[in-house]
Structure 1
């Protein structure tokens, strides 16, 4: 990146300072071996250093993408490192986390939560609920089979078309039976619950620097505590989240082998 700020060296400050001195034999400002010239040179080299450091702060440290010296100050002002998950260790990773925090636009859509979970390394899907609604639902088994379209819409609804999902909160595939679009004659508070299906385990591998032989296993498979913390903070205040880890099967390659 080109430097947009003019940097003046100590020599330039010295020459400018000598130019401002009076003329005459008592001011040998052009004699390099004079005490006056050498004194001005030594004093002005410091101002050249100060000028360069100021340019560093204005050019580099004011940009969160490349800041290094003021990175801790940037992080403190933006609430980093996030207490919900392990802080990045490298300078580059910390810069990326800072820019992500500064540019992130909050939302309450499925895509927002799914995409942020992907940034943390998790694959999730979401299921939303609602109570039975007369004129919109029907009695009996009101599930439908997918027809292969994306998104798949059910023609059973007489009051507009609504998307249909499978039990994992994903679009139903061709020939797949959907989830119940409602949960019968339940309370109207059903609409305030949503389920997050976590499809990827949190793998904690043994590390020589931090693990203890004979005590710590080769691999721990834990809950997505960092993801749960983030979701609890960013969920709509009037809703409650149900975490579903049932999709983590022993044969899942993402779960590893203990």
Structure 2
């Protein structure tokens, strides 16, 4: 529930001492003087109510720098000028990152960043392997895997999330590539396929 400046003025006046020098009428000088202070109380109450929304990393605005500082963000993976939504997604992805090397782990991590991906693994050719429809890979392919994503990820401006200085649309998968590269098992090589 949010309170208006008039609500705060009425509450304040109810707590004033009684007597002829403490008028409560709307047109009095005292009411006008107190009324000048009440918009500040209204603004502070609105900010207090917003604190619950702002404390959650997926919806934060004012506490975003604190979330980022606790996670060592922004870093090189964030790019040069990330939108507020990209910054939030990176915070959520880092907070929910439990670590791992499975396909499910990387798909879930990418989804938390805002990317829908699939992963392809490769296996080297074997003597009992029928290669009718499959390419024949040499033994080094056992350590290769591919991230498959849409051709270009587009993030559109959203009136209820974005800020006035953000672009109307932004294209690219640089954050995805950087985050996956930093988490891939050291013995493997990952490459990306778009489209």
For structure 2, the 5+ residue unaligned runs are: 152-173
Q: Could you tell me which of 64, 67, 71 is aligned with 1:71?
A: 64
> Which of the numbers 45, 53, 57 marks the counterpart of 1:51?
45
TM-score calculated relative to the size of structure 2: 0.61
Instruction: Give 3-state SS (helix, strand or coil) of 1:23's partner.
Output: coil
Consecutive unaligned residues in structure 1, runs of 5 or more: 1-5, 130-140, 147-172, 184-189, 204-223, 249-253
| 2:8 and 2:42 in contact (8 A); partners too | yes
- TM-score, normalising length: structure 1: 0.49
Measured in 2, the distance between the counterparts of 1:8 and 1:117 equals: 41
CA distance in 2, matches of 1:244, 1:20: 68
* Alignment length (residue pairs): 169
Q: How does 1:114-129 map to 2 (within 5 A)?
A: 125-126=120-121
Match of 2:4 in 1: 9
Counterparts in 2 of 1:195-234, with a 5 A limit? Answer: 195-198=143-146, 227=177, 230-231=180-181, 233-234=183-184
More helix by share: 2
Aligned-residue RMSD, C-alpha: 4.3
Structure 1 or 2, whichever has the larger Rg, is 1
The CA distance in 2 between the partners of 1:93 and 1:66, in whole Å, is: 12
Between the aligned partners of 2:127 and 2:144, the Cα distance in structure 1 is 21
Cα offset, 1:18, TM superposition = 0.8
1:59-95 CA distances to partner (integer Å, 9 max, x unpaired)?
Answer: 3211222222332332222233342463672222332
